[in-house]
Chain A
Amino acid sequence: MKEREYVPPTYVGTVTKYVFIDSPNTTPQTLLIRAYEISDGLMIKETCFGLQVTGAPEKVKQLIKELRTVDPAHIFVKDRGFPPGDPRRCRANLGGARPGYYGHEFESGLFRYISHGLEELERNTAPAVTRLGGKKRLDEGKLPLNRLLEIIKNEEA
């Protein structure tokens, strides 16, 4: 094996996750800023589709849970085997898109249907909002107009 082919294990004990955002309301930058706010020592890398998070499994899980609340139906998360910048996968060394991106590109085109499904599901399973008491009428508890006119006439008489 040539020396340059050998890559010693890096970031041992960590997990890396992709966070994809496909939302009309939230940009990758907004999501990134939110991630930095709650990063707690995790390594975060901004990408055109969202971000990559690397760190201890529990911390990453917590961060993802928080990020999902930003736009639940439009954020998608996937595990990644390699850490960011790994010379065996990084485009800086290889050139061109790596094979996995073709899969992401294809599935990104289906996000709108999945997001629609998630929103519908949320709408269908959300508990119905019940109003406490009926709607109060504007003139409820007030003196009726006819009664007021009657009192005025009686006073005049």
Chain B
Amino acid sequence: MAKVFIFPATSLILSDMVERWGHEALGAATGIRERIQTASLDSPPLQMTPEDPKKGLKYAAVEVPCGVRGRMALYGPMIEEADAAIIINDADLSFGCMGCARTNELVMFMIRQQQGGLPVLDIKYPETDDEGFAFVSQIKEFLTGLEGDSDD
């Protein structure tokens, strides 16, 4: 079972596809769950602890807004842990109330800069039935080609 980072990290479709073909999806939910279930003095009132922006310094400079650093504290370790990544390039939903454009740029940059070359699948959301078939086929082909034992 390979660990596959998905972008947008909150994508329902990608999360489903990755699990459907027996791999583990690394998305926002995974990191959030880990944080809210860990009991400590820092149990966060919201998603982030005050320590998170400091951890984010590993991935973004101090001049970068703390929102970016806080998000990178969540996504950064997951990208480093990932065996592969799937990116949807036209995901408008990842900007606005659901995300930060600068973080998204940094996440995509970091995915492509991983040492050893992280296998990456670049796709777009389907807009027709034929594109839907191509979308699903590409993901299946990519996932079945990954190293690691599948759950199926």
Contacts and interface: CB of A to CB of B under 8 A. Distances in A.
Contacts of B149: none
A103 B133 contact: no
Contact of B33 (A8, A79, A99): A79
The B contact surface, by secondary structure, is helix
Given A8-B43, A9-B38, A106-B93, A113 B12 contact: no
A141 interface: no
Given A9-B37, A78-B16, A121 B125 contact: no
A114 B33 contact: no
Interface stretch (A12-20, A24-32, A40-48): A12-20
A143 to B, nearest CB: 53
B151 to A, nearest CB: 9
B16 A77 contact: yes
Given A78-B15, A116-B132, A117-B137, A6 B45 contact: yes
Interface stretch (B21-29, B60-68, B113-121): B21-29
A51 B9 CA distance: 21
A117 B29 contact: no
B96 to A, nearest CB: 8
Nearest to B24: A79
B134 interface: yes
A120 interface: yes
Interface string B1-22: 0000000101111011001100
Nearest to B17: A114
A85 B129 CA distance: 37
Given A9-B38, A78-B12, A110-B13, A102 B93 contact: yes
Contacts of B10: 100, 103
B32 interface: yes
What 5 pairs between A and B have smallest CB-CB spacing? A81-B32, A113-B132, A117-B136, A79-B29, A117-B132
Interface of B: 8, 10-13, 15-16, 19-20, 25, 27-33, 35-39, 43, 45-47, 92-93, 96-98, 125-129, 131-137, 140
Given A1-B45, A103-B93, A117-B132, 5 more contacts: A6-B45, A15-B33, A88-B46, A102-B97, A116-B129
Interface of A: 1, 5-9, 11-16, 18, 20, 68, 76-82, 86, 88, 99-100, 102-104, 106-108, 110-118, 120-121
18 contacts: A6-B43, A7-B43, A9-B36, A77-B20, A81-B30, A81-B33, A81-B35, A82-B36, A86-B36, A88-B45, A88-B46, A102-B98, A103-B98, A114-B136, A115-B132, A117-B137, A121-B136, A121-B140
